[in-house]
A and B are shown apart, each in its own frame.
Chain A
Amino acid sequence: MGIQGLNIGLSALRSSRSAMETIGHNLSNANTEGYSRQSVTLGATSPRSVDGLAIGTGVEPEALTRATDTVLNRRIVVQAAKVTRLESMMVGMNSIESFLGEPNGFGIGGLLDGFFNSVSELSASPTDLALRSEVVRSADSLASQFNQLGVQLDEAKADALRRVDFVVDEINTIVDNIRDLNVEIAQFASQGIAANDLLDRRDEALRALGERINITYYEEPAGVRVLAGGQLLASPVSTSHLEVRRDGNGETFLMAEGGTEPVEVTGGEIGGLMEFARDFVPEFQAEMGSLARSMILETSRLHSTGIPPNGGFRHLTASNQLTDSNGNGGFGDEILGNAGLPFDVHEGQLYVNVVSESTGEFATYAIDVDPDQTVSTFLQDIDEIPLLSASIDGSGRFSIVAGGGVRFDFGRRLDPTPDDAGTFGGGRASVGTGSGEPFALSGGDTLDITGSGGPFTVTFSAIDFDDIGAATAAELAGVLNANANLQTAGMRAEIVGDQVFLQSVAAGATETFDITGGSSLGALGLPTGTASGQNAAVEVAIGGTYTGDENGTLTFRPIGDGAVGTTPGLQVEVVDETGTTVATIDVGEGYAPGTAIQLADGLTVSFTFGELSATNNDAFVQSHVANSDTSDILAAFGLNSFFTGSDAASFGVRGDLVDDPFLIASSGSGAKAGNQALLEILALQQDEVEGLDASFMDFYGNSIGRVGFEIDSVQNAVDVEQFLADSLTARKEQVSGVNVDEELVNLIQFEQSFTAASRFIQTINSITDEVMSLI
Chain B
Amino acid sequence: MKDPQSLLNHLCAWVECETTFQRELSAILDTQERAVLAGDAAAVAESVEQVQAVLERAPERAERRVQVFTDLGELWQVAVRFLTLSSIAERFGPCADHLVALRSELRTATADVVRRQRRISKFVATHRRVTRDILEALFGAENGGPLECEGTLLNAEA
Q: Bound pair: A and B?
A: yes
Q: In the complex, how many angstroms separate the beta carbon of A740 from the nearest chain B beta carbon? A: 6
Beta-carbon nearest neighbor of B52 in chain A? A760
Task: Check A741 against B131 for contact (C-beta < 8 Å).
Answer: no
The reply to whether the CB of B42 lies closer than 8 angstroms to some CB of chain A is yes
B38 to chain A minimum Cβ distance, whole angstroms, is 7
Q: Does B121 contact A (CB under 8 A)?
A: yes
Within the assembled complex, what's the spacing in Å between the Cα atoms of A617 and B117? 144
Interface members, chain A 70-84 (any B CB < 8 Å): none
Interface size on A, residues (CB 8 A): 47
Tell whether A755 is near chain B: CB-to-CB under 8 Å: yes
In this complex, which of A19, A24, A764 has the most chain B Cβ atoms within 10 angstroms of its Cβ? Answer: A764
List the A side residues contacting B132 at CB < 8 Å: 751
Interface string of A293-306 (1 = CB under 8 A from B): 00000000000000
How distant is A43 from chain B, measured CB to nearest CB, in Å? 12
CA distance A750 to B134 in the complex (A): 12
Stretch at the interface among B2-10, B90-98, B103-111: B103-111
The answer to whether B37 and A59 touch across the interface, beta carbons within 8 angstroms, is yes
Within the assembled complex, what's the spacing in Å between the Cα atoms of A696 and B8? 122
Determine the residue in chain A with the shortest Cβ distance to B148.
Answer: A755
Interface residues of B in 111-158 (CB under 8 A from A): 111, 113-115, 117, 119-128, 130-135, 137-138, 147-148, 154, 156-158
Cβ B37 vs Cβ A15 within 8 A: yes
Contact residues in A for B127 (Cβ distance below 8 Å):
16-17, 20, 750, 754
Interface residue B58 (Cβ < 8 Å from any Cβ of A): yes
A143 CB to closest chain B CB, in angstroms?
A: 59
Across-interface contacts of B128 in A (CB, < 8 A): 751, 754-755, 758
Residues on B with C-beta less than 8 A from A19 are 39
Contact A13–B147 (Cβ < 8 Å): no
Complex Cα distance A59/B52, Å?
28
Chain B residues closer than 8 Å to A763, beta-carbon distance: 55
Instruction: Say yes or no: is A727 at the interface (Cβ < 8 Å to chain B).
Output: no
A 758-773 binary contact with B (CB < 8 Å = 1; else 0) = 1111011101100111
Interface string of A623-637 (1 = CB under 8 A from B): 000000000000000
Q: With a CB–CB cut-off of 8 A, which chain A residues contact B12?
A: none
Q: Is the CB of A751 within 8 A of B135?
A: yes
> What size tier do the contact residues of chain B reach?
35 or more
Least CB distance from A753 to B in Å reads 4
Is there contact, CB below 8 Å, between B44 and A772? Answer: no
A753 touches B134 (CB 8 A): no
Tell me, yes or no, whether B84 is within 8 Å of chain A by CB. yes
Interface centre among B22, B25, B117, B131 (most CB of A within 10 A): B131
B36 contacts A757, CB within 8 Å? Answer: yes
Q: A9-B119, A16-B37 are in contact. Are A757 and B110 (CB under 8 A)?
A: no
List chain A residues, Cβ under 8 A from B157. 740-741
Q: Is B51 part of the contact surface with A, judged by Cβ < 8 Å? A: yes
Asked whether, in the complex, the Cβ of A748 is within 8 Å of the Cβ of B48, the reply is no
Q: Closest CB of chain A to B118's CB: distance in Å?
A: 9
B126's contact among A13, A756, A757, A774, by CB below 8 Å, is which? Answer: A13
B84, B124, B125, B157 interface centre (most CB from chain A within 10 Å): B124
Contacts of B137 in A (CB 8 A): 24, 28
Q: Which residues of B contact A768 (CB under 8 A)?
A: 22, 110, 113-114, 117
A62 → chain B closest CB, angstroms: 14
With a cutoff of 8 Å between Cβ atoms, the chain A residues found around residue B25 in the complex are: 764
Q: Which residues of B contact A741 (CB under 8 A)?
A: 156-157
CA distance A179 to B93 in the complex (A): 85
CA distance A740 to B38 in the complex (A): 21
Q: Which residues on the B side are within 8 Å of A17 (C-beta)?
A: 126-127, 130
Q: How many Å lie between the Cα of A767 and that of B133 in the bound state?
A: 32
Cα–Cα, bound, A771→B65 (Å): 10
Given contacts A23-B134, A59-B37, A754-B44, contact A761 B126 (CB under 8 A): no
Tell me the complex Cα distance, A748–B131, Å.
8
Question: In whole angstroms, what is the CA distance A745 to B134 when docked?
Answer: 13
**With contact pairs A753-B44, A761-B120 given, residues A771 and B110 touching in the complex (Cβ less than 8 Å):** yes
CB of A583 closer than 8 Å to a CB of B: no
> Do residues B86 and A751 form an inter-chain contact, with CB atoms below 8 A?
no
Instruction: Name the B residues within 8 Å of A760 (CB-CB).
Output: 48, 51-52, 55
Q: Please tell me if the beta carbons of A27 and B156 are within 8 angstroms of each other in the complex.
A: no
Known: A740-B156, A744-B156. A24 touches B44 (CB 8 A): no
A42 and B38 contacting across the interface, CB-CB below 8 Å: yes
Interface contact B39-A16, CB-CB below 8 Å: yes
Chain B residue nearest in CB terms to A17: B130
Contact B124 A747 (CB under 8 A): no
Q: Is the CB of B147 within 8 A of A751?
A: yes
Quick check: A765 and B117 within 8 Å, CB to CB?
yes
- B131 in contact with A750 (CB, 8 Å): yes
Is B75 located at the chain interface by the 8 A CB criterion? no
B41 close to A (CB within 8 Å): yes
A21 at the interface (CB under 8 A from B): yes
Please tell me if B78 contacts chain A, counting CB pairs below 8 Å: no
Contact digits for A23-38, partner B, Cβ 8 Å, 1 yes 0 no = 1100110100000000
Contact status B45-A753, CB under 8 Å: yes
For residue A15, which residue of chain B has the nearest CB?
B37
Docked-complex contact B41 and A749, CB < 8 angstroms: yes
Q: Are the CB atoms of A21 and B58 closer together than 8 Å?
A: no
**A775 lies within 8 A of chain B by Cβ:** yes
Instruction: Collect the chain B residues with CB atoms within 8 Å of residue A771's CB.
Output: 18, 22, 106, 110
* Distance in Å: Cβ of B64 to nearest Cβ of chain A: 13
The reply to whether B134 and A747 form a contact with Cβ atoms under 8 Å apart is yes
Tell me which of B103, B115, B119, B131 contacts A20 (CB under 8 A). B131
A50 CB-CB contact with B under 8 Å? no
Q: How far is the CB of B113 from chain A (nearest CB, A)?
A: 5
Asked if A12 is an interface residue, CB under 8 A from chain B, the answer is: yes
Contact of A764 among B51, B126, B156 (CB under 8 A): B51
What residues of B have a CB within 8 angstroms of the CB of A747 in the complex? 131, 134-135
Known interface pairs A757-B124, A764-B51, A774-B85. Does A20 touch B134 (Cβ–Cβ under 8 Å)?
A: yes
Q: Contact at A27–B138, with CB atoms within 8 Å?
A: yes
Residues of A within 8 A of B133 (CB): 24
Across-interface contacts of A752 in B (CB, < 8 A): 41, 45
CB of A16 within 8 A of CB of B22, answer no
> Is A746 an interface residue, CB under 8 A from the partner?
yes
User: A757 touching B37 by the CB < 8 A rule?
Assistant: no
Question: Does chain B have a CB within 8 A of A1?
Answer: yes
- In chain A, residues 369-411, which have Cβ atoms closer than 8 Å to a Cβ of chain B? none
B22 shortest CB reach to chain A, Å: 7
Binding site for B on A (CB under 8 A): 1, 9, 12-13, 15-17, 19-21, 23-24, 27-28, 30, 42, 59, 740-741, 744-761, 763-765, 767-768, 771-775
Complex A-B: 25 CB contacts under 8 Å: A16-B38, A17-B127, A20-B39, A23-B134, A24-B134, A24-B138, A28-B138, A746-B41, A750-B39, A750-B41, A750-B44, A750-B131, A752-B41, A753-B44, A754-B131, A757-B120, A761-B117, A761-B120, A761-B121, A768-B22, A771-B22, A772-B110, A774-B69, A775-B84, A775-B86
Question: Known contacts A12-B123, A13-B37, A740-B156; can you find 7 more A-B pairs with CB under 8 A?
Answer: A16-B123, A754-B131, A756-B44, A757-B51, A768-B113, A771-B22, A775-B84
8 nearest A-B residue pairs (beta carbon): A749-B41, A24-B134, A12-B37, A753-B44, A756-B48, A753-B45, A741-B156, A754-B128
Binding site for A on B (CB under 8 A): 18, 22, 25, 29, 32, 36-39, 41-42, 44-45, 47-48, 51-52, 55, 58, 65, 69, 84-86, 103, 106-107, 110-111, 113-115, 117, 119-128, 130-135, 137-138, 147-148, 154, 156-158
